[in-house]
Each structure stands twice: as C-alpha cells, then as structure tokens.
Structure 1
Amino acid sequence: MTDSTLQVLHALLADPTRERYGLELSKSSGIAHGTMYGILVRLEDWGWLENRLDYLPDRATPPRRYYRLTSDGAVRARATVEQAEQRATRGRRRGSPLLGKKAGYAT
C-alpha cells in the first residue's frame, strides 16, 4: 500500500458514504490528478470503490465520474489506514527516521 493510496483512502474515509469526483479527491488528498486516477481504478478493481457517471446538462461538458467507498471497501480502508498508523507509531517509538514518518495524510 503506497503512501499516495493511503492519502486517498483517508480522504474517502472523511465521509465514506459521500460521492466525490476525481478532481475533488485530488484536492482533498493532495495527490496529483494523474496519479489519482490510477489509484481509483485499482481501488475499484479490488471492490473497494464504486462509481457512477453524472451527465451534466451542458452537453459540451463531459460527464463527471463520482466515486464512493463500498460498504466492504470502507471496512477494509479503515483497517488499512489504522494498520499504517500503527506501523508509523511503532517506527517512531523505535526512533527510526523513515518508519516513523506519517503517511502524509491528515488525522
């Protein structure tokens, strides 16, 4: 699990039932949109995310894809983030400068 994926999961867990589009997630997680979409596809492949297209009234604007954690995905995301935080805490206690760093997401 990469730090970038953990940041996206943390952003999604802020409100697990809310739908968000990719650019919004990119801004809230601090992950570049080019990186964001690869992460979202991977999370979908794992069954952690679902998406839907929203066709805007302005036909010149492409549809917006909204993402939301599945119920199973929310459980797994929470567990994954908690495990990463525990590893970081253990690393800080051991005094490791690398292992003790926060994964880069807000708490």
Structure 2
Amino acid sequence: MRLTIPVAKVLAALLVEPEAPRYGLDLMRLTGLPSGTLYPVLHRLQDAGWLAADWEDVDPVAAGRPARRYYRLTGEGIRSARLALAELRALVPSERAGGADPAGAPAW
C-alpha cells in the first residue's frame, strides 16, 4: 500500500475508533478530503484487505435518506495502518508529528 497524504488521513481518522464503522460523509468531515479523493482511497484500502465495507440495512423512504455504506478497518488493516503511520511519523519532523486535529487524528 502506497502511503500518500490522503491515505494517511483516512487511516488516522479510522484509527481514532478502529472498531467503529464510518460512512463517507463522516470520513470527509474527519479528514477534510473531498469525495473525489476519499472514495478512491477507500477502494484501494478495500482492495488491499485493510478495509471492510457493508451497506446499512435501512429503508431509504422511512429514513428519509439513501442507505449508507459503512467502512471499518479489518484486523489486518488495524495492524498495518498503525505500522504504516508509525513509520510515516518517524520520517516527519517532530513539530508536525505531535500535532493533532480536534477529532484526534494527526494533522497530516
């Protein structure tokens, strides 16, 4: 997996609560990434086996919105993401490595 800045942002956001499922708009808010950047990253993470995705079981008419696709890190994804971000932090100057946004994700 090539660890680009957008990939690092998504992984950091998912690692805030690794077991919690997140949907696209939620991840866009946490990462600041537009949908055109976020969804290709999510697909790459799925293809690598780091991310699982499932559709919400909801009646769109009753909910008043379309069903959401929820994403969560797999066990392998959690381990790999932590390792990849730790390696990235080791390369980043110390004044950037310690910064975090209000959601708890590192400020990449």
> If the TM-score is normalised by the length of the shorter chain, which range does it land in?
0.7 to 0.9
Contact 1:53-1:65 at 8 Å conserved across structures? yes
Partner secondary structure for residue 7 of structure 1: helix
Contact 2:13 2:31 in 1 (8 A): yes
**Identity of counterpart residues, as a percentage?**
35
Q: TM-score, normalised by structure 1?
A: 0.81
Distance 1:79 1:5 in 2: 13
1:62, distance to aligned residue in structure 2 (A) = 2.5
Alignment match of 1:75 (pick from 76, 79, 83)? 79
Q: Tell me how far 1:57 sits from its aligned partner.
A: 2.4
Partners of 1:38 and 1:70 lie apart in 2 by 18
Pick the structure with greater CA Rg: 1
Larger relative contact order (Cα-Cα within 8 Å, sequence gap ≥ 6): 2
Q: Which residue does the alignment assign to 1:37? A: 39
Runs of 4+ in 1 over 6 A off after TM superposition: none
Q: Say whether 1:65 aligns with 2:66.
A: no
Structure-1 separation of matches of 2:34 and 2:60: 26
> Is the 2:60–2:67 contact (alpha carbons within 8 Å) kept by the matching residues of 1?
no
Q: In structure 2, how many angstroms separate the alpha carbons of the residues matched to 1:73 and 1:66? A: 15
**SS of residue matched to 2:91:** helix
Structure 1 match to 2:106: 106
Please give the root-mean-square deviation of Cα atoms over the aligned residues, in Å: 2.2
Q: TM-score, normalised by structure 2?
A: 0.80
* Residue 87 of structure 1 pairs with residue 91 of structure 2: yes
